[in-house]
Amino acid sequence: MLRIAVLGVGRIGRMHAANIALHPRAALAGVFDVNDAAATEIATALGTVKFASAEEAVASEAVDALLIASSTATHADFIEMGVAAGKPVLCEKPIDLSLERVETCAAKIAGSPVPVMLGFVRRFDTGHRAVKAAIEAGRIGDLHQLAITSRDPGLAPAAYIEVSGGIFRDMTIHDFDLARYFLGEEIATVSATGSRLVDPALMERCDDYDTVTITMATAGGKQCVITNSRRAVYGYDQRVEAFGSGGMIATDNKPLDNTRFSGPGATGQAPALLDFFIERYDDAFAAVIGEFVGAAEAGRAPAVGFEDGRQALILAEAALLSVREGRTVSISDIG
Ligand SMILES: NC(=O)c1ccc[n+]([C@@H]2O[C@H](COP(=O)([O-])OP(=O)(O)OC[C@H]3O[C@@H](n4cnc5c(N)ncnc54)[C@H](O)[C@@H]3O)[C@@H](O)[C@H]2O)c1
């Protein structure tokens, strides 16, 4: 049994805590949150203990591993604490909003055999995995072009957007990771456009964008286009299309159920989409815990690790620079 403590039990930490409790080879060792009411609520609901601090959780002999789901600014410190204590870490994205801080964290944990996994959940989606397997099996021949669409169902609260680090570091970071996952080789150039079409006033105030398109290419010429919007009125839009010399494979959105309605004025009408990431990627979030438990038990590198988090942030920095300077950015210029 891998005994995992959860640091931060907000929106996503409480879901991870419940998934740990459900996993047959994991146990929820306890929770810590600076918001004591949230920690009490989750500890009571899941029948576990509450730690008085992150340090107490890390040092506890009843804790084998850590899941970090606290606010982004805490991630790098908590990763360093976990690795120093020899305890495997599963950390939510992003590692940090500052590439400089990510680099100092990388230097601190360099050479350690302790598994550090990044919570890039989309790699664990069954549809995305099927696309990856098809590419690897050569079903679409040589991969030439990748199109990733990711649109949120609605604008996050202003208080969230203000501290999110901007759309590229907070939202597109998932798509940057997916692009690397599917392309199977590093991206060399990034060109991005950013617009303020959903809430121009808020985006202006936050110096952010709500509508972005990113075009990327590998050194070998494989291309990828990512399209993001912070608001799709029809729901959480998550699709991938991989096109190659021998064919094309695509994943579609997940509706609430698989019914189709036909009647006056409509044929084959599908239900609404699953609302947001916790519902859309519920199987994938459970699979993230499974991969982490497997890696921690075996003391092996997880399927997605610290370096993937670092590379995704580099792509986010490149996209932001591209928008700001109106030019194509070479990845070698970043960092
Ligand atoms: N993988 C995904 O799809 C996904 C989705 C949402 C959020 N996230 C990431 O997960 C993290 C948490 O996001 P959220 O939406 O749950 O935010 P949230 O604000 O709902 O929860 C964060 C929690 O961390 C707690 N916290 C803050 N500082 C802390 C500290 N020093 N020690 C312990 N707890 C502390 C807060 O009190 C809060 O309860 C963020 O880094 C975010 O980027 C990932």
Instruction: Tell me, yes or no, whether 233 and 325 share the same domain.
Output: yes
Q: Please tell me the total count of domains within the chain.
A: 2
Instruction: Tell me, yes or no, whether 18 and 61 share the same domain.
Output: yes
Longest CA span, the chain: 65
In short, whether 54's Cβ falls inside 6 Å of ligand 1 is yes
164-217 pLDDT, tens digit each = 999 999 999 999 999 999 999 999 999 999 999 999 999 999 999 999 999 999
Do β-strands 211-218 and 223-229 pair in parallel, antiparallel, or remain unpaired?
antiparallel
Nearest residue to 42 (alpha-carbon basis) of 66, 65, 76, 19: 19
Which atom of ligand 1 approaches the CA of 32 most closely?
A: 33
CA distance 125 to 137: 18
Instruction: Tell me, yes or no, whether 159 and 104 share the same domain.
Output: no
Instruction: Give the closest residue (by CA) to ligand 1 atom 19.
Output: 10
CA distance 237 to 152: 7
In short, whether 8's Cβ falls inside 6 Å of ligand 1 is yes
User: Is 79's pLDDT higher than 90?
Assistant: yes
Domain assignment of residue 288, yes or no: no
Domain boundary among 52, 84, 114: 114
Angle between helices 172-183 and 306-325 (to 10 degrees): 110
Domain assignment of residue 297, yes or no: no
CA 99 – ligand 1 centroid, Å: 19
Tell me the chain's radius of gyration from C-alpha atoms.
20
Domain boundary among 92, 114, 136: 114
DSSP state of 156: P
CATH number of the domain that residue 74 is part of: 3.40.50.720
The residue segments making up the domain with residue 57 are 2-114
Number of H helices, E strands in the chain: 13, 14
CA 71 – ligand 1 centroid, Å: 4
Q: How confident is the model at residue 31 (pLDDT cuts 50, 70, 90)?
A: very high
264-302 pLDDT, tens digit each = 999 999 999 998 999 999 999 999 999 999 999 999 999
User: Is 335's pLDDT higher than 80?
Assistant: no
